[in-house]
Chain A
Amino acid sequence: MIRVQGDDFEPGAEIDRLLDGHTAVGGVASFIGVVRDDPEHGPALRAMTLEHYPGMTERMLAAIEQEANHRWDLCASLIVHRYGRMVPGDRIVLVVTAARHRQAALESCQFLIDWLKTKAPFWKREETEDGERWVQAQARDDVAAAKWQIEPSVD
């Protein structure tokens, strides 16, 4: 299941809803991305605005989720990604994977967030005390995605 929304989400409620009726689940992994104000890296962050490509965003998230379900034996999975303006501490993204065993849940959760960062069409714009700027893509994100051996079907 994937969802793109402007509103915040409540992780506990999302997980409960996802697991409802899945009695074969033995492990659940989750990742929550949060807006960070890191004083060691540049001017203080006031807010961050996430822009996205409506339509393509949903397609890419669905394709990435499908790939995870192809690679791991999952009982249920969920990606919720927000867009719009957020302030430090706000939740940006939620990834939940549920499987019979922990390894599939943990690995697929990391795979989903790694691939999402380099494939889902979102762009962050920061408002700092020194002005506004578009966030530059990080080479380490490409490295993180590449370690899952990118296949051309979803690229």
Chain B
Amino acid sequence: MEVLYFAWVRDRVGTGREHVNPPDTVTTVGELALWLATQSREHAEAFRDCDVLRAAVNQEHVSFGHPIAAGDEIAFFPPMTGG
């Protein structure tokens, strides 16, 4: 699946997009975040406090309990500050 990062989440991870293959036990956005946090020191820093993060699956806002599947586009970002 494709994982996208925006704003300071991207700064901390060090890339804006990556292809990942998490184990089958990872079935939700929240589980993906916890798994990503184990992938590098940079990921751990980005996902240190998931409470301040927001997520989207296939460009729709979702909660961290939302299911994910192979082929999904999943994005992590801080609360939005447009307008």
Which chain B residues (25-83) contact chain A, with CB distance < 8 Å? 56, 59-61, 75, 77-83
A100, CB-defined interface residue at 8 Å: no
User: In whole angstroms, what is the CA distance A119 to B8 when docked?
Assistant: 18
Minimum Cβ distance to chain A for residue B9 (Å): 9
Q: Does A121 contact B (CB under 8 A)?
A: yes
Q: Is A46 an interface residue when CB atoms closer than 8 A count as contact?
A: no
A52 partner residues in chain B, CB cutoff 8 A? 82
Asked if B3 is at the interface of the complex by the 8 Å CB criterion, the answer is no
- The number of residues on chain B lying at the interface, defined by a beta carbon within 8 Å of a beta carbon of chain A, is 17
How many residues of chain A get a CB closer than 8 Å to chain B's CBs? 30
**With a CB–CB cut-off of 8 A, which chain B residues contact A135?**
81
A137 in complex: contacting residue of B59, B61, B78, CB < 8 Å = B78
Asked if B1 is at the interface of the complex by the 8 Å CB criterion, the answer is no
Q: Of the candidates A60, A93, A120, A123, which one forms a contact with B78 in the assembled complex, judged by CB atoms under 8 Å apart?
A: A123
Is the pair A123, B6 in contact by a Cβ cutoff of 8 Å?
yes
Known A-B contacts A53-B59, A53-B75; the reply to A121 vs B6 at CB < 8 A is: yes
CB pair B75 A81 closer than 8 Å: no
A59-B83 in contact given A51-B6, A51-B7, A53-B77 (Cβ < 8 Å): no
Contact residue among B4, B11, B75, B82 (Cβ-Cβ distance under 8 Å from A122) = B82
Chain B residues lying within 8 Å of A134, measured Cβ to Cβ, are 7-8, 11, 78, 81
Q: List 23 A-B contacts (CB under 8 A).
A: A53-B56, A53-B59, A56-B56, A59-B59, A59-B60, A60-B61, A81-B83, A92-B83, A116-B83, A117-B82, A118-B80, A119-B61, A121-B6, A122-B80, A122-B81, A122-B82, A123-B78, A123-B80, A125-B7, A134-B8, A134-B11, A137-B78, A155-B61
